[in-house]
Amino acid sequence: MNWTKVCKLDMMYADAGVCVQGNNGEQIAVFLEGASNELFAVSNHCPFAKANVLSRGLMAELSGKLTITSPIYKQHYDLKTGECLEDETVKIKTYPVREVEGVVEVAL
């Protein structure tokens, strides 16, 4: 895997997302779950709104899954799998993500 440094962990807020740009120009939404300090990375592009907005969405547990809610049309995406809870035919891209010595890295 090609790990890319995207931001410092101390620049992130618990239960909120940040938008970062990958090497290929694609926008990636990175989230820090507060209770477990687990990181998640998904495409920032909402397929329903056709806009790069998912980093602005709200994190919530829904149906036993940790999700991000699109701020425009309110679809919920599983942060682990990228699956849309309202439409099983829609899925957003997910990325491996890790923290190394205080720096968040995403595999692109």
What are phi and psi for residue 20, nearest 5 degrees?
-130, 160
The domain segmentation of the chain, as residue ranges, is 3-107
Residue 24 pLDDT: 77
What pLDDT score was predicted for residue 57? 96
Low-confidence ranges of the chain (pLDDT < 50): none
From CA 18, how far away is CA 78, in angstroms rounded? Answer: 17
At the second CATH level, the architecture of 3-107 is 3-layer Sandwich (2.102)
| 84-93 per-position pLDDT tens digit | 999 999 999 9
pTM for the complete prediction?
0.94
> Residue 63 is encoded by which pair of tokens?
């149906």
User: Residue 39's closest CA among 70, 16, 72?
Assistant: 16
The whole-angstrom separation of Cα 58 and Cα 29 is: 12
pLDDT of residue 25: 82
Strands 97-100, 94-95: pairing is unpaired
